[in-house]
Structure 1
Amino acid sequence: MQAKYSLKRQLLLWLLIPQLVLWLAGALLSFQVASHVANVMTDTSLQQTANALARQVHVRQDGQVALDFPPAARDLLQGSLDDALMYRISTLPGGVLASNGQFDDVAPPMPAASQPQFYTSKTPAGTNRALSVFYPIDKTGNHWLRVEVARNQQGRKQLSNQIMLTIGLPLGGLLIVMSVLVWVGINRGLKPLHGLQKLLETRRAQNLAPFELSDAPEEVHALTHALNQLLSTTNESVARQRRFIADAAHQLRTPLAGLKSQTELAMRETTVKGLGDRLNMVHTSATRSIHLVNQLLTLARSEPGTQSGMPRVKVDLAKLIRDLTAESVPRALAAGMDLGCDTSLNEAVIEGNSALLRELFVNLVENAIKYIPRGGNVTVRLTQEGSNYVVEVEDDGPGIPDEDKHRVFERFYRREQTGSGCGLGMAIVKEIAERHGGSVDLLDAPVHGLIVRVTLPLNPQ
């Protein structure tokens, strides 16, 4: 299956795109700052020039306004062609004292003295940044000096561009350096994943040993730990299947060999009675083989690896136990036993596999009938304890010694070699109970006998 996206590409995009956005935002902010600084510097220069020009005007003794403005000062103010400074000095009322350019009349009306008025002036030569300042000539307030200065916007733009380059070039270099560092960092960060990929590619399918990564970040260790858990579960499942196959082959070999021997002897019999006896033994051996195969199939279905595929439905334990007890009564009567059911619960619903739960309780009842003497008593009891249902199968037989109780749940273990059992009944009971989140315990009856106690939660996991 082809991957939908690359983790490396995703990391690069998520790290570089925000950097690019921040760089563009920084560039825009730098442009605003550069324009503001250029405007402030231009306005300050215009105001200083206007103040300097105003100081060159004085009133003579005859009351006339005179301008002391030598040619050298005019040449100094003229500046370069791209950054030419225009000025106009006039009196109100009166006329123009000095001027070196054309000014429009868009300036606002005369404000209070010495309050600068900045505005944009458009002339045939281009757009200018202009300043108009009024200064009082005498104390009466009837005569005013007006100083107007203007500078072409081209100079201000050049200053703004210089500031922008001064700020933008280091930012661009920083973006490039950060992008390279991010790329190198992502490659180094993903290097342990590439190492794990090589280990997986070179690992043989039969090798289920855990992975060992000593020099790896925490996230890769977590991934490795999850893989090791999966390998451990798989190894246990494979080992369980191998053990099951070996046990099944060993257990089936004996009855099949006996069945073959009995058929060979039956073929040699010459009397009807001898042939009938041999056929009865063949039937008994075939019946035992069928029982063993059925038990093996049930045990295989109750394995943890197959339980995930088994359907789970609502199962009423009370009805199931009552029905199974009623079905087993004829067999108990034939064996000379008293089988009863004791439950006060009308309904005991859990979620589970109905076929496996039925097999669990069938094994318990059949074991009790099979292994206690004639004249015995078997009671199936259902109660509720907190958040669990408890099913107890109690008999008054000889019981099981404490040292053998834990071995009863081993596969193919039989305390007595008589009878037709195969030693799988209690192993099946334990597997099915655990698959439903429950447990099985063996307890001594109050007087004598055995109690098999099965605990099942109301809400199995």
Structure 2
Amino acid sequence: MNGRSLHRQLLLWLLLPQIVLWLVAAFGAYRLASRHADELVDASLLQAARALARQIKPTASGIFVDLPRSAQDILSTDSADPDGRVIYTVSSPPGQLRLGDARLPPPPGTPALNEPVFFDTIVPEPMRVVSLDQHLGAAGAADSTLRVQVARLSASRELLARRMLLDTALPLSLLIVLMSMVVWAGIRKGLKPLAELQRQVEGRRADALDPVQLRAAPPEVGALAGAVNELLGQVQQNLATQRRFISDAAHQLRTPLAGLKSQAELALELATDPALRQRLQRVHESAVRGARLVSQLLVLARAEPEAVAAQGWAAVDCDHLVHEATADWVPRALAGGCDLGVDVVDAGLRVQGVALLLREALVNLIDNAVRYAGSGATITVRLRRVGDDLWLDVEDDGPGLAPELRERAFERFVRGASHGEGCGLGLAIVREIAERHGGSAQLLPAAPHGCIARLALPLQA
């Protein structure tokens, strides 16, 4: 079952609160910027309204507005924002226009004297308006009340708020990005021991059961590595027990099987009844097969990783190994009607390994060729160098092996032919030994017919 990545989960749970806080801070900054922008705009409008009110003087015939054309142009344009137009009205009494834009509506309610009233309106664009009522003459006079209104487009206020928000949000965003990078780097550094543990477990062979080594690991990862090491130790102990049982059982079976084989041979020499001789012959064949099976089980136990390491590695002279093993098998090959020979293409080749196991692998390949190539076959043991590898081929011109059986023949207790006395462990032992030495074993077709059993091993550096 595939779960979500721990790295992504940690990154999500650490960055999500930061993003939420950033959004809350951005919203709060926008509200604060809007409020300050409103305050600045309102203060600017009130200052303009009072400045305009100071330019209005009462006269005997009415009022006099001392507002030159240049002052009107300055008042009609926002110096902070050229696109933010300002309009104004002067009325006395309130509602009776004396100067300015008649589109400005009156303020809501009944304003108090000398108390500014701020409100929003549309004329025809959204605008912010300040209305200021003042006395011009004696209190209580009908024409002594003056109303001054100044309005500015709301767009300028929103522009000011956005600018203030940008000045606040940009450093905050950079801070959030910097914090995110620090969090990401911290998560990677914190999870590095887990990646190291994964690398050590994934990079090892299935038979490598030595403990996992972690340096300066946190307690949590150290506890996980300790649990993995404990499990590996238990598996190693179980495999060792199993190997000891196989080895002990094979050793215990060798003696009675050898005795059974000897007794069957003696009985065959003394028996005169044909039916009895036939049964004794089957008993003898079974004893021979059982003895060979026990012998191969012992070799298989010696080919296990721990057994190979215990036997010690050394430089093996493959020239000498090939000649010696082939010479020992010449009599058996002749007895089977086969012509067994050696072809050393490259002399002086050496590999690093266990000579006893490599000899056993070669012997098994020769034995298979003698058993299954048939009488009259020619068998050649060839030694050569190909690149950085040594190829040890046992080639015969017998009937060969079907393509679908070439790979299955390396499985334990799988036989490539129904005849012969094999038990299906020879090629499995060859592949096991080859892999323990860092090499490989395979079966290939020979031309025009026959089979090539190839053992490929890395040459000694």
TM-score (norm 2): 0.49
TM-score (norm 1): 0.49
